[in-house]
């Protein structure tokens, strides 16, 4: 570090210490960073573009929380400081890691105020629209399948409000869909009352509109809202339309209203966050667990103002998870978290190289993780079985690929596995196919996927102009594919990330590009061994599972964050870290049960609260 930067650092330290005597980062952690990190990350030429000089207090860390997550991970994994630099003792390293984690995960609210975040007007995505129409009108059609495709957003889910735009063509689709679904609906699902000789048509129409709009808007409607719908009924009646048709003309307006197409919540006045009201909580809950509107029982609980009672809320969660409609959670969350949904739209793998890969097998691959996760929810099993289990779900097509006999059904059945090679998501064909190239496996893609989607510790993007590896796993220049990759890793620009990814990916090399088991590659025995960062050795998928189970805290935290992002319908921000930490910790204390994860998300601060309308978008400011 240059003399000038040393002086700057001392000046910043002195000023910060004066006003941050109660700041644990200033008092306990920054001196260690000064001692071991500033030589490379505090001078004019900072390595990796990381300059830690400006992070002078706890608040400043939250200007770049992703960077500090990386700092913590690299210190914990002994990637930093580099081997040729002075090393902290084991106690110093542990103190620094745990101290930084506490600051980032559970900041002092006097320094970093609690923030539940805000959600923009949340348009129903295609799946939510279809299921809401089903539950509102009782029709089996899927009109939204013809809508423009929804974009994926933060957290990797297509229910992210920030990416659910409204292109002009969508309004035309909404109008057409409203007409079609109203025409297809049974009368008994459209009218709560019909005219009688003692009640005039208009009075009955008003009651029906109030009832229908309240269900469609997922809250009680005001007298003014009903009054604005009645002229549509009056106009249809004036043109000689019968009662049912005239009411439907007003219903059409309901189905293209923003209050139906969007999940809208009130913004609390002022800067202070406020709890959601019972109807908003019911709606968040139903779209989290069912991807659809609240049912009559949930509406009744909201009407009575009882959802704010923790026992009532838990009872509703358990009831809703037991309902077949909760399969929507398993389908939407699992396929998007694991990325297996993409198999429906990608060309992988090469069907000439893998002739057994066909549409029925692909569909079975995609269904397996959904059936597996649905079983964990249904049986309230340990979520650690996602890492290692003695069973799976398969039909005849998938069982044939797995070498499992006596499964002849086209439907999925529970299958007890003979050993530990296959159970859990890393042994599922959908994951193994997604993380392969058309002609060969990819230890790099598989290792990267494990880091990102199981451990939540993604590597940085590759440097530009990196030499690519061959498209198949045949020998080239006398070298096996593994030897070619080891040569590639000698590039210092690539070595750091590959040292983290490759051993994880090579542990899965016994699985080919569609997830079938193999003992040889290009005529050579499979080498599935490797050494993880930190020195742990793994050999094959069973060793990999043991290594992942040893890191279950990372897995549970990542899973908690993913489920929270899905439940909120938005990407997570730095201010969500305390909630994620609490969910993961409580999940571990409750035997990692599937229902515990759902309940912890529902009971979390960001799920039940909302930011005030006058709150700044970025609440982190320097003192």
User: Are 169 and 74 part of one and the same domain?
Assistant: no
User: Are 442 and 491 part of one and the same domain?
Assistant: yes
Least confident of 258-262, 478-482, 557-561: 478-482
User: Are 476 and 374 part of one and the same domain?
Assistant: yes
Does the N-terminal peptide bond of residue 239 adopt cis geometry, omega within 30 degrees of 0? no
The string over 341-363, giving b where at least 16 C-beta atoms fall within 10 Å of a residue's C-beta and e elsewhere, is: bebeeeebbbeeebeebeeebbe
User: Are 386 and 531 part of one and the same domain?
Assistant: yes
Mean pLDDT, rounded, for 343-353: 89
Residue bearing tokens 């959670």: 329
pLDDT digits (tens, 9 = 90+) for 546-563: 999 999 999 999 999 999
Residue 79 has pLDDT above 90, yes or no: no
DSSP, collapsed to helix, strand or coil, labels residue 412 as coil
User: Are 407 and 461 part of one and the same domain?
Assistant: yes
User: Are 86 and 126 part of one and the same domain?
Assistant: no
* pLDDT computed for residue 509 by the predictor: 96
Least confident of 166-170, 195-199, 237-241, 511-515: 195-199
Residue 273 lies in a domain: no
- Pair 383, 592: CB distance under 8 Å: yes
Residue 66 lies in a domain: yes
Helix (H), strand (E) at residue 391:
strand 391-394
Out of 222, 246, 263, a domain closes at 263
Out of 550, 576, 598, a domain closes at 550
Residue 496 lies in a domain: yes
User: Are 129 and 101 part of one and the same domain?
Assistant: no
Measure the CA–CA gap between 517 and 511, rounded to whole angstroms. Answer: 5
DSSP state of 156: G
User: Are 348 and 496 part of one and the same domain?
Assistant: yes
Residue 41, domain extent: 3-105
Task: Tell me the average pLDDT of the chain.
Answer: 89
User: Are 247 and 391 part of one and the same domain?
Assistant: no
Mean pLDDT, rounded, for 101-116: 83
pTM over 0.85: yes
Number of domains in the chain: 3
Out of 54, 70, 105, a domain closes at 105
* pLDDT computed for residue 64 by the predictor: 85
Measure the CA–CA gap between 90 and 109, rounded to whole angstroms. Answer: 30
User: Are 497 and 411 part of one and the same domain?
Assistant: yes
User: Are 357 and 238 part of one and the same domain?
Assistant: no
Residue 318 lies in a domain: no
- Pair 376, 411: CB distance under 8 Å: no
pLDDT digits (tens, 9 = 90+) for 381-392: 999 999 999 999
User: Are 439 and 508 part of one and the same domain?
Assistant: yes
Helix (H), strand (E) at residue 413:
strand 413-416
């Amino acid at each position: 570090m240059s003399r000038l930067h040393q002086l700057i650092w001392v000046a910043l330290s002195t000023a910060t210490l004066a006003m941050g005597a109660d700041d644990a980062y200033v008092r306990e952690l920054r001196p260690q960073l000064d001692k071991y990190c500033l030589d490379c990350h505090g001078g004019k030429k900072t390595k990796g573009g990381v300059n830690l000089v400006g992070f002078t207090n706890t608040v400043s860390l939250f200007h770049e929380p992703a960077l500090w997550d990386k700092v913590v991970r690299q210190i914990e994994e002994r990637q930093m400081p580099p081997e040729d630099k002075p090393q902290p003792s084991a106690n110093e390293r542990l103190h620094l890691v745990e101290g930084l984690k506490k600051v980032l995960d559970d900041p002092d609210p006097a320094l970093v105020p609690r923030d539940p975040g805000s959600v923009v007007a949340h348009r129903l995505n295609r799946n939510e629209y279809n299921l809401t129409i089903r539950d509102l009108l009782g029709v089996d059609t899927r009109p939204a399948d013809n809508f423009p495709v929804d974009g994926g957003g933060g957290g990797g889910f297509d229910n992210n409000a920030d990416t659910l735009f409204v292109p002009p063509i969508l309004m035309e689709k909404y109008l057409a869909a409203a007409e079609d679904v109203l025409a297809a609906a049974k009368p008994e699902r459209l009218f709560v009352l019909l005219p009688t000789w003692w009640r005039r048509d208009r009075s009955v129409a008003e009651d029906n509109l109030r009832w229908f709009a309240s269900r469609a808007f997922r809250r009680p409607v005001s007298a003014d809202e009903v009054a604005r719908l009645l002229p549509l009924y009056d106009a249809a009646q004036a043109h000689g339309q019968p009662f049912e048709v005239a009411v439907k003309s007003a219903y059409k307006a309901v189905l293209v209203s923003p209050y139906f197409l969007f999940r809208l919540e009130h913004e609390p006045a002022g800067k202070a966050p406020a709890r959601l009201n019972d109807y908003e909580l019911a709606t968040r809950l139903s779209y989290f667990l069912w991807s659809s509107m609240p049912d009559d029982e949930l509406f009744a609980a909201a009407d009575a103002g009882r959802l704010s009672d923790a026992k009532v809320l838990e009872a509703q969660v358990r009831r809703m998870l037991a309902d077949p409609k909760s399969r929507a959670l398993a389908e939407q969350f699992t396929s998007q978290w694991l990325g297996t949904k993409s198999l429906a739209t990608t060309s992988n793998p090469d069907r000439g190289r893998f002739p057994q890969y066909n549409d029925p097998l692909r569909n079975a691959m995609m269904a397996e993780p959904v059936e597996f996760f649905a079983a964990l929810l249904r049986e309230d099993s340990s979520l650690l079985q996602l890492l290692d289990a003695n069973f799976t779900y398969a039909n005849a097509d998938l069982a044939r690929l797995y070498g499992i006999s006596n499964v002849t059904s086209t439907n999925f059945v529970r299958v007890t596995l003979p050993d530990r090679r296959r159970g859990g998501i890393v042994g599922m064909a959908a994951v193994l196919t997604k993380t392969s190239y058309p002609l060969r496996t990819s230890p790099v893609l598989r290792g990267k996927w494990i880091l990102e989607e199981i451990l939540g510790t993604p590597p940085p993007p590759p440097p530009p102009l990196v030499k690519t590896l061959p498209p198949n796993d045949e020998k080239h220049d006398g070298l096996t594919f593994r030897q070619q990759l080891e040569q590639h890793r000698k590039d210092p620009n690539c070595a750091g990330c590959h040292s983290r990814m490759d051993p994880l990916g090579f542990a899965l090399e016994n699985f080919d590009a569609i997830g079938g088991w193999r003992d040889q590659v290009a005529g050579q025995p499979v080498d599935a061994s490797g050494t993880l960062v930190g020195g742990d050795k793994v050999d094959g998928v069973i060793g990999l599972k043991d290594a992942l189970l040893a890191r279950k805290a990372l897995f549970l935290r990542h899973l908690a964050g993913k489920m929270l992002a899905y439940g909120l319908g938005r990407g997570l921000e730095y201010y969500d870290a305390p909630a994620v930490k609490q969910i993961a910790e409580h999940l571990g204390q409750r035997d990692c049960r599937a229902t515990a994860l759902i309940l912890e998300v529902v009971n979390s601060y960001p799920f039940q609260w909302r930011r005030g309308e006058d709150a700044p978008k970025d609440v982190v400011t320097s003192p």
